[in-house]
Amino acid sequence: MKRDRLWYPRPTMPPTDAGPDSGAQYDRFADIYGVWTDTAPAAGANQTFYCQLYNETAGPVVELGVGDGRIAVEAARQGAHLVGIDASSRMLERCRTRADAAGVSERLALQQADFRTFELAAPASLIALPYHSLGHLTTLEDKRRAVERIFGQLRPGGRFVFDDFVVTDQRRAHMRQAQLRAVYQAPDGTDRLLWVTSLLDDSAQRITVITWEDTLDAAGQQLERRYRKLELSWLTPDQARALLEAAGFEIESCWGDFDRTPFDPVEAEEQIWVARRPHAGSQVA
């Protein structure tokens, strides 16, 4: 498939009025992020889904919330050329390290920027926002700004694809439990336990994720406990549709899982939206 040459975005820094500081939160989260994603139920499925999407798209491809490159570097290894954008400098450092180790640094240009204000050197054919990352913007106004910015950075006919939580009663109960997420060995050789629970504010559609990591000695005694916090939020499907349509997008699909099953509000585990910027002269229904 013919591809545009790799293009490099204008470097920008996160704005000083960035509101929710997801970059700083993920700076603190970076050293456990690999364990976090490796133990997420949807991690394998969403990686396969987005890698296929990137590699079937001709022209500029952008991943917002690129993180440590779990998806983007694998897509580049498979042949994709793309730009990765993230607000966290530490996550971008890990992404560069992963890309260097995979030998794909020339296929992945990285930019530190905010979802609401990022600027590309050329309009994109595809902008993706995987792994519920729109939820790092915790107000509808911030999400609206991001969706409008994404619309403005796409070429006519370009697509925006993102996934978000489907927050059901069952999922609420699960997230509120204290769970042992992972047992693993850190690079320094110590044994670690990673725990998680969440506080949910249903009226505000906000999630406060609390993780704590226990470091153990050889006898199993706790040496240290470290806490981390993430502020997240979710959209209802009706809100997601309204945001996309208000920005000017045509909605192509909404899937309920990464196998592209049509969205069913009762059965769906995810809401995965595919929206397109109309060509000039076309009208949004």
Question: Which pLDDT value is given to residue 24?
Answer: 84
pLDDT value at 263 more than 50: yes
Q: What is the mean pLDDT of residues 37-44?
A: 88
For 17-46, b where at least 16 C-beta lie within 10 A, e where not — what string? Answer: ebebebbebbbebbebbebbbebeebeeeb
Q: 255 — phi, psi (to 5°)? A: -110, 155
Residue with tokens 């790092």: 136
Cα atoms found within 13 Å of the Cα of residue 186, Cβ hemisphere only: 14
- Separation between Cα atoms, residue 97 and residue 100, nearest integer Å: 5
pLDDT value at 41 more than 90: no
Tokens of 169: 């009663």
Is 83 in contact with 7 (CB distance < 8 Å)? yes
Residue with tokens 């050889």: 218
Hey, what amino acid is at 119? E
DSSP β-bridge partners for residue 210: 197, 229
Residues 6+ apart with CB under 8 A from 116: 15, 18, 137, 142, 145, 146, 149
Confidence of residue 98 (pLDDT cuts 50, 70, 90): very high
Q: 221 — phi, psi (to 5°)? A: -80, 140
Average pLDDT of the chain to the nearest whole number: 90
pLDDT value at 6 more than 50: no
Question: Which pLDDT value is given to residue 59?
Answer: 83
Task: Indicate whether this model's pTM tops 0.85.
Answer: yes
Residue with tokens 């199993």: 220
pLDDT value at 277 more than 90: yes
Question: Which pLDDT value is given to residue 144?
Answer: 98
Question: Which pLDDT value is given to residue 1?
Answer: 37
Q: What is the mean pLDDT of residues 188-217?
A: 96
Q: What is the mean pLDDT of residues 72-100?
A: 97
- Separation between Cα atoms, residue 130 and residue 258, nearest integer Å: 11
Question: Which pLDDT value is given to residue 25?
Answer: 86
Is 235 in contact with 252 (CB distance < 8 Å)? no
**For 110-164, what is each residue's pLDDT tens digit?**
999 999 999 999 999 999 999 999 999 999 999 999 999 999 999 999 999 999 9
